[in-house]
Structures are given as C-alpha cells and as structure tokens.
Amino acid sequence: LCDLVTGYYHRLTVMSGNSFMAMLYNSTKEPQACVYRMYFEKNGTNTTIATCKMLHRLLKDRDSASAKKLMLEALNTALSGPMAVV
C-alpha cells in the first residue's frame, strides 16, 4: 500500500505541471514510504484510503482550495497529535 500511496501522490504532482514538486516528491519516495509504513502500523489504513478518495473527489470537482486544505490536515495528522508518527 505504501507504494500505491506514494505513487498516487507523485502522479498528482506530475499532473499539476509543477516539475519541481514532481522531482522533489520522486526523490523523497523512500523516506515517504517509511513514514507511511510507520503510520499504517500505528493507525491502520482506513484514514489514508479515505483521504485519497476525498482528494480524488475534490480534484474531480476542481475544488483546489479544499484539496489543499485536506492535504495540509492529513500532513498535520501524521506530524502531531495522537496519530503522529514523527
């Protein structure tokens, strides 16, 4: 699942047209997969799967502001609070 999630987010950066972010995301793939593994071990996969589904819906609806907000909330969840892994 770690490869699927990192691949999904990498493809989103490629689709955005931001080549710098795509290269940055690709160059940090291994550390990201490690963080996802830790997150999944601690919290399971349901939250991440729900976030990916919601992000897909928001992007499909062209709601970039809500998509950005969702991504920041997801990142903060992994970095602080009861679900944090770092």
* pLDDT over 80 (residue 86): no
- Position 5 scores a pLDDT of 87
pTM (2 d.p.): 0.78
pLDDT in tens, 6-39: 888 888 888 888 889 889 888 998 998 898 899 9
- In sequence order, which residues have a C-beta less than 8 Å from that of residue 67 and are 6 or more positions away? 55, 58, 59
Q: Which of 14, 6, 7, 16 has the alpha carbon at shortest distance from 67?
A: 16
Helices H, strands E: what count in the chain? Answer: 5, 0
* pLDDT over 80 (residue 73): yes
Residue 19 tokens read as 């080549």
